[in-house]
Chain A
Amino acid sequence: MSELRRILHIEDDPSIQSVTKLALEAVGGFEVLSCSSGAEALREAPGFAPDFVLLDVMMPGMDGPETLARLRECLDLERIPVAFMTAKVQSSEIEHLRKLGARDVIIKPFDPMRLADQIRSIWNADRY
């Protein structure tokens, strides 16, 4: 795969879900599947076959890190980059998230006009 088209977005907050989906579709021109929980994402992911996964950290029930671990079972995460999205900005936390296997961490609040570019640059960085 050499093209970034489909993005799996997992976020429990419906407002952020909407804004993010709009920013990625309308500004970035991506195809976005939004899931409201880790469980939903695990169900939908194999069928959707995403090129990139954007994952919220703090979610009720299955949180971001756990979802990431479970996604490995159904997606080839060596090939598909994952980026966390979090409002926690402490460097120790960011470091921790990277260690879990995320390519990068996007800080909330994000600039919706630049979000597509950010994801694209992460995806590109991963290519080379």
Chain B
Amino acid sequence: MQPSRPEADADAQHRELSRLAALLRYEILDSAEDAAFDDFTQLASRLCDTPIALISLVDQRRQWFKSRVGLEVSETPRDISFCSHAIRDDAIFEVEDALADPRFRDNPLVLGEPHIRFYASTPLRTPDGYNLGTLCVIDRKPRRLSAEQRDTLARLGRQVMRLFEERLLTRRHAEQAALQQAILSSAATAVITTDVEGRLRSLNPTAERLLGHGSASVAGRPVCELLFDPATLARRAHMLTEEFGQPVQPGFEVLTLPLERGLPEMAQWRLRQRNGNEVPVLLHVMAVRDENERLHGYLLSAFDLADQEQLQLRLQQIAAQVPGMLYQFHWRPRGGGRFPYISEGVQDIYGLSPAQIGHDMRSVYKRVHPQDLPEVQRSLRHAARLLAPWQAEYRVNHPQRGLRWVEARATPLPQADGSVLWNGLITDITERKAEQLELEKQQEMNRRLLEALSEAVIACDAAGNLTVFNEKAKQWHGGDIAPMPPSEWARHYHLYLADGVTPMPAEQVPLRRALAGEHVGDLEMAILCDGTPRHVICNANPLHGSDGQPMGAVTVLYDITERKRIEQLQREFISTVSHELRTPLTSINGALTLICANVIGQVPEALRELLDIAQQNSQRLSALIDDLLDMDKLHAGKMRFDMRRQPLLPLLEQALRANGSYAERCAVQFRLLHCDPAWVEVDGMRLQQVLSNLLSNAAKFSPAGACVEIRAARQADGVRVSVEDHGPGIAENFRERVFQKFAQADSSDSRRQGGTGLGLAISKELVERMGGRIGFHSTPGEGACFWFELPLAEAPVAGGSDR
């Protein structure tokens, strides 16, 4: 024996481990007896003419006999085995006489049973070069094999090895088959296999259950004839013919042709069951090919969609509640698309049934208004390219409902195979569109209206951004909307106070005040854009949405420049006219008065009446001019009040004295019935004017011999002076106009009663300017009571010389 080198030992050890692994891989150790192997040991024994022949496999600790002739034991320890020597060699291993061989002469198998003297073996070598064991022949006497016998032994050994290989393969096949069978049997998917021509080979149990056919009973039948609806096949064939540009027969080709074109064939079908019913399935067709790519047949897996159809039915019910149509559109990169799902609403939108649409977009496109179609298609392509949501509004020519506006929306769902599934909704928006158009029309109308207005209209939103600025606003402000905070408005838009010279403080701008929630009414202001002030009356109000939320504010400006100019002219006119009237009136009045007073001699009785008429009317004219001037002064704000604190009673007494002669003429008596001590702060002369007016009115309207009662009564925070007559009272329909200018109960009255119609209007103004208020109450037929109230003034400290 060669001294062993460590490297060689390690190598040998590694190789032995690999060899043992190979042995285990064949799964033959301790396997059951197999007659096929016994044939080889019998043959070997006879050909070599030995009493013993073995198929021996050497594992870690023993040699185990897969087959044996002439030996009782099934295994012996490895350390005494001849085979463990033999497997180190790739050739025939022969020991002619064991007793003469130093390796074996002490071997218990030589010295004892079975008394081996001769041993020859051929290794059982795997294709990858491991010797698993041997085919060996043994004799109890020394001898040697002929060359022929050695050759035969080697051939037999190789055959044994082939048998090992075959057994392993068979085993593997059986396992695979069992696994496949188990998979197919338990698969939820129905699997149908066919041959190349589409004849049925098998149905898995699920397929049997689904279709009601036994696998054996239908084997060999053409699958299309058995399971598919001819009309559907024909339709699909027609579609594929168009898609591929070659004639496609309505048979098995329909299922297989897409595969040949490299397209995965997966589609919904309805398969006919044995009882004649149809079941919806998702059918996936696969070609079955061997390792040489040769076509062996097809495998059709059908996924039962009945449940899904139930779901779809529910979806349809839901979809029926949804206004418009729900749909799924499956688009494939090779062009062509179809609708896996369309709700019944398609009838409302397009006037087509889901069946009429089928898989063809053209029927849909035909309904779209020709003017809108290009844009619809463009937007679709665009959305498809970007995989972006699609949205479009277009018109549809509905065969029953006429031209409708619809809105379409769809969301893309990219699929693993590169196709895109669009989930979409199309709704009829004709009414909304009509409303929208109506709204647009209304907005346009509003816009035109705003432009046509003679007022300036300006509005802003809640954030203070100007939103409306009509033509007049632009004209008057000398500009348009410009982005700026509300604090800039006054300066930018040349806003001034009513005097036309004082710039308006920023916080007083009416629109700004309205934005803060204030209602600004009839505010006079000015816009000074080009040197001359434009006087305007301004109203501004906050805007609220229908929900009550602040939406901003709006202001409307009326130009009163012209009105103010006219008013000014009018005032000047009145002032001039009244002055110019006074001068001749002074002469006329004076002359008449002197004549009537007999200053220039006794007036003849014949002239008296006419002269009296002339005098009375000239006095009336004079009073009218006085009233006009007063009114004008009050309006122009030019009347000055010399307010002094004084006791009320002397003022009343003075008024009664001053009007006493008038009362006498009317045959009426003034009676001061009551006067609470009170001090007031008034312009004495103006209060006299008011009292004169009330007293003379009362006297004028009293019947002869009647009394006019005057009272002054203190109230909580003032004093009320009332003048009550027993005349006809104030007619119901005149009450509202009593204090209006030139108001008189009847146009004939003024002539009869000799008033100007300005007295009460002036009195009202005077009383109000002095901080009081005026009013009346009256019972028609019983009289009228006119009153005014003045705030009380503090009396001076008691003990003063005044009363």
Chain A interface residues toward B at CB < 8 A: 13, 15-16, 18-20, 22-23, 26-27, 87-92, 108-113
Contacts and interface: CB of A to CB of B under 8 A. Distances in A.
Contacts of A26: 594, 599-600
Q: Lowest 4 CB-CB distances: which A-B pairs, in order?
A: A15-B587, A19-B590, A87-B582, A109-B586
Contacts, number: 69
Contact of B582 (A91, A92, A109): A109
Contacts of B594: 19, 22-23, 26-27, 112-113
A15 B584 contact: yes
Interface string B576-620: 001100111111011101100101100000000000000000000
A13 B585 CA distance: 12
A13 B587 contact: yes
Question: Helix, strand, loop or mixed for chain A's interface?
Answer: helix
Interface residues of B, number: 24
Nearest to B587: A15
B633 interface: yes
Given A108-B583, A113-B597, A20 B590 contact: yes
A92 to B, nearest CB: 7
A110 B599 contact: no
B593 A90 contact: no
Contacts of B599: 22-23, 26-27, 112-113
B451 to A, nearest CB: 46
A91 B686 CA distance: 12
B107 to A, nearest CB: 160
B638 interface: yes
B640 interface: yes
Interface of B: 578-579, 582-587, 589-591, 593-594, 597, 599-600, 622, 626, 629, 633, 638-640, 642
A37 B266 CA distance: 126
B640 A88 contact: no
Contact of B640 (A13, A23, A92, A111): A92
A88 B632 CA distance: 13
A9 to B, nearest CB: 13
Contacts of B579: 87-88
Given A91-B640, A92-B640, 14 more contacts: A13-B587, A16-B583, A18-B587, A22-B594, A23-B594, A26-B594, A26-B600, A87-B578, A87-B586, A90-B633, A91-B639, A108-B586, A111-B593, A112-B599
A16 B593 CA distance: 13
Contacts of A112: 589-591, 593-594, 597, 599
A110 B590 contact: yes
A98 to B, nearest CB: 13
B633 A16 contact: no
A79 B182 CA distance: 148
Given A13-B583, A22-B599, A90 B638 contact: yes
Contacts of B585: 108-109
A112 B638 CA distance: 29
A91 B639 CA distance: 8
A19 B600 contact: no
A87 B599 CA distance: 24
20 contacts: A16-B583, A18-B587, A19-B591, A19-B594, A22-B594, A23-B590, A27-B599, A87-B582, A89-B629, A90-B638, A91-B639, A91-B640, A91-B642, A92-B640, A108-B585, A109-B590, A110-B586, A110-B590, A112-B589, A112-B597
